[in-house]
Structure 1
């Protein structure tokens, strides 16, 4: 093992939520360690939107500015690496990294994000976040009016279609299997001129991540400019290892203050919110940082 050090708070994950929590703690003079492996889930996305003062900036630009501002607070330390295990002790927590470094803290903030699970469709991963996207609030304006596919079925596809119907009238739902819409959904989709294709996708043909064609397993293909997709995800192993309760959808269960089911552990960002955006991540991180500081203050009285 390498060095061992004590902190008041360890933040696992140093993207938007983690940095926001770190800023709140740094401004409260809390001895804080931010551990980050530098693999943000949106690192492939060319531009970030719907976040005041940074609309259109790249994710990396926002992260660089954020980190430089947090670094001005001298009680905040950064560590580049991956947390392998975290253990709740009788007092506080022990965190061990892949390099064998051991750290201790009174509180943990988990800002690990989530890991998208790519489907077995050739070209999908290369387009993810560029022309195959998850959120109309983050990307919808940029692909407005374009010929757009919705890669989903049933209630999920219907929900996405209702959200983006005002952004483009050239919508096609590709279910990749027999569709599961109820009669009322069928009527509404037909009324709005939204096509349905039930063929299974084999390949997404693209140019540097920009969708050109969707090819089907029967050999046919159709041109599209963009697509929305709802794909599954998995949590980082750390909150599960600590015993944090998950919701039925797989997110870390938190209260309005970001507190998990494990005392002393808070969560913020994409790992605990269905509202996946930079703005929400920054907000939830700020709340988590303030709540951690409040807990430390109360415990010191």
Structure 2
């Protein structure tokens, strides 16, 4: 089956991109594997009009709204291969189905790799959190921590006191210099150099952490910036180029949200080092609009 555009990824970015193309009356296929990055979170926060709503509910409603447009088709399944042949793109799913399109829009997201500390993974998205703007208000006024894992960890620790009493755990990886120590002290952030070796309590809740030196410190939530990688190999298969970001690669885009491969657009967490529901949705809107314009104006690809 051939479409004008295929959108791969049914989370906030992909749904927002598909909506623009649907409203432009283009024949599109939305492919979704059903494993969104935000599946571990109970609610989406800071997303205007959706604050406190479960991500799965937002996506379900988005798909319901998209299904009202007659030019939209859906395919549940994992896209495992994509290639450009001549003037069109071919996409293969794990179950053997194959589709083609004039344009391809990747909203495939990223995969998180957490530090290997016992008790962390089972708390991810609940009491181990990636973003204070997304989840800080819900853990306000409790004992909060920041796990040192990358150069911007100290910057994150300086922000956390606006939500609650904060401790920065350097893990022996990202030690603050004298200037940073003064900044942390001014913000009343406690600094712990002894690494966390275990998260304690009944998961997904967090009650305390055990340090390498044997001490146990009470803690209710910790902010962690995981390393990220592409959730699928599709961009690499297509020959898209990447840029390095602090936590992992991002797909290189121009101002039109087009990748370095003509006719391939991209949006969402795979394209932006800052990960947030609103930003993902906004990038999807822009990618969808520019993808449509390339179809309408017959831009070479």
Query: Does structure 1 residue 190 correspond to structure 2 residue 185?
Result: yes
Q: Name the structure 1 match of 2:210.
A: 215
Match of 2:273 in 1: 274
CA separation of 1:237 and 1:153: change in aligned 2, threshold 3 A: closer
Contact 1:113–1:269 (CA under 8 A) maintained in structure 2: yes
CA contact (8 A) 2:158 2:187 kept: no
Distance 1:178 1:233 in 2: 18
Asked whether the 8 Å contact 1:174–1:199 carries over to 2, the reply is yes
Is the Cα contact below 8 Å between 1:13 and 1:113 reproduced in 2?
Answer: yes
Aligned to 2:298: 299
Matching of residue 239 in structure 1 with residue 231 in structure 2: no
Matching residue of 2:17: 21
1:124 maps to what in 2?
A: 120
Q: State which drifts further: 36-45 or 149-158.
A: 149-158
Change (3 A) 1:107 1:178: closer
Q: Per the alignment, do residues 269 and 153 of structure 1 end up closer, same or farther by CA in structure 2, a change over 3 Å counting? A: closer
Equivalent residue, structure 2, for 1:225? 220
Please state whether the residue corresponding to 2:244 is helix, strand or coil.
Answer: coil
Alignment of 1:129-278 (within 5 A): 129-152=125-148, 155-168=151-164, 170-177=165-172, 179-235=174-230, 236-249=232-245, 250-278=249-277
Which runs of structure 1 show a deviation greater than 6 angstroms over 4 or more consecutive aligned residues?
none
Residue number among 5, 9, 13 corresponding to 1:9 in the alignment: 5
CA distance in 1, matches of 2:191, 2:242: 34
Question: Residues of 1 paired with 2:283 and 2:51: CA distance?
Answer: 19
TM-score normalized with structure 2 length: 0.94
SS in 1 for 2:21: helix
- Partner SS state of residue 296, structure 1: helix
Q: Secondary structure at the match of 1:94?
A: strand
Q: How big is the shift at 1:220?
A: 2.8
Q: In the aligned structure 1, how far is the partner of 2:243 from the partner of 2:100?
A: 28
TM-superposition CA deviations, 1:78-127 (whole Å, max 9, x none): 10111111011111111111011111111110001100012211221111
Change beyond 3 A, Cα 1:23–1:148: same
Distance across 1 between alignment mates of 2:274 and 2:140? 21
Structure 2: tracts of 5 or more residues without a match = none
Alpha-carbon shift at residue 195 of structure 1 (Å): 1.3
Tell me the SS of whatever aligns to 1:55. coil
- Calculate the TM-score normalised by the size of structure 1: 0.94
Deviation of 1:71 after TM superposition, in Å, equals 0.9
Question: What is the number of equivalent residue pairs in this alignment?
Answer: 296
1:209-254 alpha-carbon deviations (Å, 9 max, x no partner): 1111112334332110111111101012111111111111111111
Following superposition, the deviation at residue 154 of structure 1 comes to: 6.6
